[in-house]
């Protein structure tokens, strides 16, 4: 028994290292290319991080400086230079995301799958992209959005925290009867930290959690009320800082201003926003419909990932940064939500013993198409285009 236990631990460690190192290396290569592109997010963020003179509009980075601080430290302590420092830091964040995702996939699928299959699914979910149809979405990413992006350093930096906090809350909710104060304190600290990395996660996750807990009061007949209060208190520090970020960044003077213009941002890059949305979540949508309403509502982790996506999607559809509309800054939360949605639907798809062969075939085809689109997007950015996305 001891030998079997040791062997299992060794297997998990190997899979974790493979996923972490693979995502580290592919990100290191991509980021080095991205940071050298003119007008790219990486170029702007990394120049600010090392103290190069920048326009006043980029002072907003002071409010979420974690990625920039890490780059500055590497830049000052090593001879790597600005571009390699930015690439190294980003590769570390994405590598951690890959390793964390593997551990979750392995935990969920270990009764059904080998380690190799868990590694493949982890790497597949790390590359999923909106279905690429060149006659419709020529730019691959623009217009459709995606759970996998390569061009924004702060969104890549907050991704491991977003995934970890999502999983932490799911675990906390399942163990709500026995959860101690320490769990809420740790989550509260990490939520606040996520705001200092990039506030986009809280932007979508906070209202999604509030809606989730509100809806849960109905089937539980109010029994989860005090748990909801504790969760609300855990969110207070992050929520206060998020409000402070908003008040300091946006105003009514016109320098930075938020407006409500449904689908305005999506129409900048998509001839048909609704079709673009379907291309972005074809596989998750198929799985949700195949599982059916009862199973979806009963599966709290899956249901939360859906709410997270829907809340973030509504924000993206409605809001626009009027002075910088083309940046699509309300899209970042939706991309993080899409990531958790793909993870949960993929796991539920492969955990389910489908009686209908066609369901397995269609689901496998759609996920493969998403992954193939993501691999092509990576190659396209790396080799064929001077654009950042």
pLDDT digits (tens, 9 = 90+) for 108-131: 998 899 999 999 999 999 999 999
Main-chain phi, psi angles of 343, to 5 degrees: -60, -50
Could you give the CA distance from residue 49 to residue 228 in angstroms, rounded to a whole number?
Answer: 39
Is a pLDDT exceeding 70 seen at residue 212? yes
Between 113-127, 228-242, 257-271, 334-348, the lowest mean confidence (pLDDT) is in 257-271
328 φψ region: left (φ > 0), alpha (ψ -120 to 50), beta (else)? left
CA angle (231 as vertex; 301, 177 as ends), nearest 5: 70
Give the contacts of 93 (CB within 8 A, at least 6 positions apart): 67, 156, 157, 159, 160
> CA quadruple 384, 33, 137, 279: dihedral positive or negative?
positive
Prediction pTM value: 0.94
Q: In 3-state terms, what secondary structure has residue 319?
A: strand
Q: In 3-state terms, what secondary structure has residue 288?
A: helix
The secondary structure element, H or E, covering residue 320 is strand 319-321
CA angle (6 as vertex; 4, 8 as ends), nearest 5: 70
Between 176-185, 251-260, 271-280, 368-377, the lowest mean confidence (pLDDT) is in 251-260
- Going by pLDDT thresholds of 50, 70 and 90, the confidence category of residue 54 is low
Average pLDDT over residues 28-45: 92
């Amino acid at each position: 028994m001891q030998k079997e236990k040791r062997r299992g631990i060794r297997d998990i460690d190997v899979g974790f290292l493979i996923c972490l190192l693979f995502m580290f290396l592919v990100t290191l290569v991509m980021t080095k290319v991205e940071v050298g592109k003119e007008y790219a997010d990486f170029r702007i963020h990394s120049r600010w991080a090392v103290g190069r003179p920048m326009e006043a509009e980029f002072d907003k980075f002071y409010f979420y400086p974690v990625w920039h601080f890490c780059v500055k430290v590497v830049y000052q302590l090593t001879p790597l230079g600005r571009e390699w420092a930015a690439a190294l830091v980003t590769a570390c964040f994405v590598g951690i995301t890959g390793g964390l995702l593997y551990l979750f996939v392995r935990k969920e699928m270990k009764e059904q799958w080998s380690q190799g299959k868990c590694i493949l699914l982890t790497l597949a979910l790390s590359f999923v992209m909106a279905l690429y149809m060149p006659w419709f979405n020529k730019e691959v990413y623009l217009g459709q959005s995606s759970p996998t992006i390569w061009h924004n350093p702060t969104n890549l930096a907050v991704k491991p925290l977003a995934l970890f906090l999502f999983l932490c809350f799911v675990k906390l909710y399942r163990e709500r009867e026995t959860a101690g104060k320490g769990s809420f304190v740790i989550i509260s600290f990490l939520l606040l930290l996520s705001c200092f990395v990039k506030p986009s996660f809280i932007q979508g996750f906070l209202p999604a959690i509030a809606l989730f807990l509100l809806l849960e009061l109905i089937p539980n007949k109010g029994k989860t009320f005090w748990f909801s209060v504790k969760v609300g208190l855990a969110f207070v520090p992050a929520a206060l800082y998020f409000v402070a970020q908003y008040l300091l960044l946006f105003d009514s003077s016109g320098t930075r201003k938020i407006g409500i213009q449904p689908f305005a941002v999506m129409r900048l890059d998509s001839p048909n926003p609704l079709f673009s949305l379907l291309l972005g979540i074809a596989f998750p949508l198929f799985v949700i419909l195949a599982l059916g309403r009862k199973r979806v509502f009963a599966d709290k982790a899956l249901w939360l990932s859906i709410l997270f996506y829907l809340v973030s999607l509504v924000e993206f559809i409605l809001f626009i940064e009027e002075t910088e509309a083309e940046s699509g800054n309300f899209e970042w939360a939706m991309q993080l939500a899409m990531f958790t949605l793909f993870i949960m639907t993929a796991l539920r798809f492969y955990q389910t013993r489908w009686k209908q062969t066609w369901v397995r075939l269609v689901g496998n085809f759609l996920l493969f198409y998403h992954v193939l689109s993501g691999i092509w997007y990576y190659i396209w950015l790396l080799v064929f285009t001077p654009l950042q996305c």
